[in-house]
Amino acid sequence: MSIPTIPEASVEDPSRIYRRVLGHVPTSVAVVTAGTRSGPVGMTVGSFTSVSLEPPLVAFFVDKASTTWPRLYEASHFGVNILGQDQTALCKAFSRRSEDRFSEVDWTPSSRGVPLLNDAIVTLECTRYKIDLIGDHYQVVGRVESLELRATNPPLIFLQGTFLNLPA
């Protein structure tokens, strides 16, 4: 009796399965920003979440290989800018490697020096609270110092590698 073999091409890499299956879980889209000595920095994250009410804590997760993270880490404060569903361009601008991500973007520095995106639907300003390396990502927890609801149009949702339009 011969043992059946599985053709190599049909065996999906476990990390691809992980991404494909978890791609079915919708996420919000936020741009995390900070003011540094060399100017504003920011990156798109889908991992933003609220954590605690008392004290008010939020978190996001950043790839330890991120080239933006060492610059974000310089700052004691960071901003979280939740994007609306018409802001896919901002999402893309802040997920591209290198180049000046702020050059085409309307933003204003807060009184704490945190760059906040003028068109975000929600902005938060946070003080760095705790950072842990978990697997291949840093869990970055911030204490919310101020928050603002700027617009009530639907948020941008990321699902299965694309953007989802919610009814207005």
Point out which residues bind ligand FMN (CB under 6 A).
29, 43-47, 60-63, 66-68, 91, 95, 97, 158
CA 27 to chain centre: 10
Q: Compute the least distance from the CB of residue 137 to ligand FMN, in Å.
A: 6
Q: Compute the least distance from the CB of residue 68 to ligand FMN, in Å.
A: 4
Q: Compute the least distance from the CB of residue 96 to ligand FMN, in Å.
A: 7
Whose Cβ is closer to ligand FMN: residue 24's or residue 111's? 24
Q: What is the DSSP letter of 84?
A: B
Q: What is the DSSP letter of 29?
A: -
Q: What is the 3-state secondary structure (H, E, C) of 103-133?
A: CCCCEEECCCCCEEECCCCEEEEEEEEEEEE
Beta bridge partners of 90: none
Whose Cβ is closer to ligand FMN: residue 13's or residue 99's? 99
Q: Compute the least distance from the CB of residue 42 to ligand FMN, in Å.
A: 8
Whose Cβ is closer to ligand FMN: residue 13's or residue 136's? 136
Whose Cβ is closer to ligand FMN: residue 9's or residue 133's? 133
Q: Compute the least distance from the CB of residue 159 to ligand FMN, in Å.
A: 10
Site of tokens 């569903």: 85
Whose Cβ is closer to ligand FMN: residue 77's or residue 138's? 138
Torsion-angle region of 99 (φ positive above 0: left; ψ -120 to 50: alpha; else: beta):
left
Rounded distance, CA 153 to CA 88, Å? 14
